[in-house]
Structure 1
Amino acid sequence: MIRPSVLLLLLFLSSACMKAQEWKPLFNGKDLNDWYVKIHRHPVGDNFGNTFRAEDGMIKVRYDQYGDFNEQYGHLYYKQPFSSYHLKLEYRFTGEWEKTAPSYTILNSGVMYHSQDPRTMPAEQDWPISVEMQFLAGLGDGQPRPTGNMCSPGTHIVYKGKLDTRHCINSSSKTYGKDEWVKAELIVYGDSLITHVINGDTVLQYSKPQIGGPVVNNFDPKQKPDGKVLSSGFIALQSEGQPIDFRNIMIKEL
């Protein structure tokens, strides 16, 4: 016979397990109240040029109020950090690329994870110390341009069993076009295995994200202890010169 105290513990653990496995929307479809904005050259909380907008049940990234882009790369952070989780969302590139942005930003965006807290970033810090699941679309030139790649501002990862210090590693995904909705999934197990999934296909895996390397500028040195393994951090949607829409942003903690 199971004692009442043991039964209550089992019920609690079962309830906690079920709760941890539930999908939760990160975006409520109406506003950005659960998110922090951080745009290069501006303090956290300043949504310069109304860059990030909640419209039509989507998060939209736009630059029609910018003038000169002036390297004002932006990131929209969900309000709390996560460690082990399954993130899924849909994105599509749309509109006209901001012509004063660097050319590499054409049909280019992404989602950052294990990011530093945006409130630790000086106004002049250009990129968060983080790992990125990069999104790209084909340029219409017939050349392959995979999406769901890995980029690493201020970080490194272990790829195929070795520390890999390249800034970006391409995935094995197909090339998708502008104005095409793409389903992206990011499966993160703390500081262990990371998996990128595009339209249901596993396209990249690596492990042990850690602080190190260049790309990030004008950061607070206390925030960049090179060699520190990253097991948790913030999730952020990116703006870097190309209009993009995000929808159906969901997370399930693992």
Structure 2
Amino acid sequence: MKKNIILTLLFFCVASLGAQDWEPLFNGKNLKGWKRLNGKAEYKIVDGAIVGVSKKGTPNTFLATTKNYGDFILEFSFKVDDDLNSGVQLRSESRKDYNNGRVHGYQFEIDPSTRAWSGGIYDEARRGWLYPLTLNPSAKSAFRNNAWNSARIEAVGNSIRTWINGIPCANIWDDRTPEGFIALQVHAIENDKDEGKTVCWKDIRICTTDVKRYQTPQEHVAPEMNIIDNTISPYEAKDGWTLLWDGKTTDGWRGAKLSTFPTKGWEIENGILKVMKSGGAESANGGDIVTARKYKNFVLKVDFKITEGANSGIKYFVNPDMNKGKGSAIGCEFQILDDDKHPDAKLGVKGNRKLGSLYDLIPAPENKPFNKNKFNTAIIIVKGDHVEHWLNGIKLIEYERNNDMWDALVAYSKYKDWPNFGNLEEGNILLQDHGDEVWFKNVKIKELK
């Protein structure tokens, strides 16, 4: 609580500096400097505020600045009726060669629903959610329903950060669009009961001069999300993160049963490491790949995408010398699986071979935040004997190893005949070839003391 109060004070102190470097984006009287795009929802001026009015039968409507902005700090106040989703676009575009002029780009979310993701960052008509507030749950209480809220957006270089009422909400590192317009959104509606609901903005001002001088200190209360594939941001580097795969070469990896990287079965294409389809057999084509060195205590992040019916996995505490015969190398496994289409989902005990499970040992919940058609983020955290599996920001399972309960669990699994399974102090990290096409990128690790 004390830290939040200090950050809030810093926020207002920074905001009050250099008033001469701020300029209004809205004069309080008319919509000079703005233009409407895409939909036909109404924008009007009431008591010095821009009021957007929802309209059924029209797509998302945007009131956009006629100027583009690159690096800036934007401040405004907003209020929205319940049940009406909205947002503020930044560094956004509307081009004829992209969906016939559809507005696309970063969006500061305005969300009065019980989900409470106001202040999160959505990539409108492009990549979808970049920073849902599942990544920063403490910020979900920042927004106040049926009241005016203050907002701040800092877009400087690759860094985009947001605040509501002085509370840090979102924090991304991305380079997709370095500049574009700012726009106020009236979201499309489907229900008659939402016709005529309003979202309001006022006191809209922007700083584009000497922006770095007025940036809020990088406290990272809102955890940073690096969106740039296969890179380490300056903050990640400072925090101890390194790339396990560089996005271009096979450096740092070898076959689990080889001294070099496999000559077949794996491909690198456009920053994606692909295990290729070969009939569904376990480690029978290119074979599993493992890190060149071993790891003990760590946080591992891997983005993965499956093809239909695919099976694969991320293993840790792997001893590549334990199994020199057929099949996969032996280690604890974060299961990657198409639960709907692969038969392995119906095997095992109580779903312990489904996506996110500790394979054949501990089942992940049935209700998982998984998108079969997109990249998903697996996180494995190891602190001594304590291990956690996370998927897309949600913890799936946690367990303790090196104890009687663990040994009893192993004794009733397919690993019962492998000595000291899962109890190694350190081991290699493995990406599995199970004969199905699966994609990997953003393979990162932070070693813990």
**Residue matched to 2:284:** 72
Q: Distance in 1 between matches of 2:269 and 2:426?
A: 30
**Residue matched to 1:181:** 375
Structure 1 unaligned blocks of 5 or more? 1-17, 97-105, 152-166
Q: Distance in 1 between matches of 2:333 and 2:421?
A: 18
User: Across the two proteins, how many residue pairs are aligned to each other?
Assistant: 197
Cα drift, residue 69 of structure 1: 4.7
Task: Return the letter of the residue paired with 2:243.
Answer: P
| Relative contact order higher in (CA < 8 Å, ≥ 6 apart) | 1
Q: Is the 8 A contact 1:52 1:76 kept in 2?
A: no
Cα-Cα RMSD: 3.4
**Residue matched to 2:331:** 130
Q: Distance in 1 between matches of 2:312 and 2:364?
A: 15
* CA distance 1:174–1:129, change in 2 (3 Å): same
Q: Distance in 2 between matches of 1:233 and 1:20?
A: 25
Is 1:245 aligned to 2:446, yes or no? Answer: no
**Residue matched to 1:203:** 396
* CA distance 1:130–1:149, change in 2 (3 Å): same
What is the CA deviation profile of residues 18-69 of structure 1, one whole-angstrom value per residue up to 9, with x for unaligned ones?
A: 9894110000111112101136xxx553625x21222211111103xx5795
Aligned match for 2:246, one of 28, 38, 43: 28
Map 1:57-206 → 2, pairs under 5 A: 57-63=271-277, 66=278, 69=281, 72=284, 74-94=287-307, 106-116=309-319, 118=320, 120-121=321-322, 123-139=324-340, 147-151=355-359, 167-172=360-365, 173-174=367-368, 176-190=370-384, 192-206=385-399
TM, length-normalised to structure 1: 0.65
**Residue matched to 1:163:** none
| Structure 1 residue matching 2:240: 3-state secondary structure | coil
Task: Return the letter of the residue paired with 1:127.
Answer: S
Task: Return the letter of the residue paired with 2:262.
Answer: N
Q: Distance in 2 between matches of 1:77 and 1:51?
A: 14
* CA distance 1:205–1:36, change in 2 (3 Å): same
Task: Return the letter of the residue paired with 1:54.
Answer: I
Cα drift, residue 235 of structure 1: 0.3
Greater radius of gyration (CA): 2
Cα drift, residue 241 of structure 1: 2.0
Structure 2 unaligned blocks of 5 or more? 1-235
Q: Is the 8 A contact 2:369 2:391 kept in 1?
A: no
Q: Is the 8 A contact 1:127 1:216 kept in 2?
A: no
* Aligned residues with identical type, % of pairs: 25
